[in-house]
């Protein structure tokens, strides 16, 4: 993923771009179309019925450079499960730097951004979903700019 110096540089870059401190990356899934095997074809179709594909998970920095990638799940697997099966999730304690930044008296650890499909974790920040207040919508706007 990132060493300590790179993580601090990325956090500064994200804060400049979207005004949110201590972001060391953004993760999301992507669908990669494939020619599936004859046996198990249906496993490769995602829940929306799209073409056969693999679910990939990737993490990027503030310049959209790949810093993490995993492509080990067929299309039918939900993105939250793809994350939970990834080395990023399994080894987060070793991969996420330990420093923190004090903001208004609170220690904020380095965090990754993700969309609402992912679980909320100590190192993963996601947007609000459903009926949101004006403040929550504003937060989502800032969050999605990262």
- Whether the Cβ atoms of residue 43 and residue 76 lie closer than 8 Å to each other: yes
Q: Which helix (H) or strand (E) holds 13?
A: helix 4-18
Say whether pLDDT at 50 is over 80: no
pTM above 0.75, yes or no: yes
Mean of pLDDT values over 32-46:
81
List, for residues 119-141, the tens digit of each pLDDT value.
999 999 998 988 999 999 988 88
Distance between CA 83 and CA 116 in Å, rounded? Answer: 13
């Amino acid at each position: 993923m990132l060493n300590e110096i790179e993580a601090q540089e990325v956090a500064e870059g994200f804060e400049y771009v979207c005004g949110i401190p201590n972001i060391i990356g953004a993760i999301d899934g992507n669908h990669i179309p494939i020619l599936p095997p004859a046996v198990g074809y249906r496993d490769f179709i995602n829940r929306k019925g799209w073409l056969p594909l693999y679910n990939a998970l990737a993490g990027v920095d503030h310049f959209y450079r790949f810093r993490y990638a995993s492509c080990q799940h067929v299309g039918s697997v939900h993105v939250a499960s793809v994350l939970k099966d990834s080395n990023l999730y399994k080894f987060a304690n070793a991969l996420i730097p330990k420093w923190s930044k004090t903001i208004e008296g609170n220690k904020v650890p380095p965090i990754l951004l993700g969309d609402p499909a992912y679980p909320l974790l100590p190192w993963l920040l996601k947007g609000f979903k459903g009926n949101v207040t004006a403040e929550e919508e504003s937060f989502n706007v800032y969050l999605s700019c990262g």
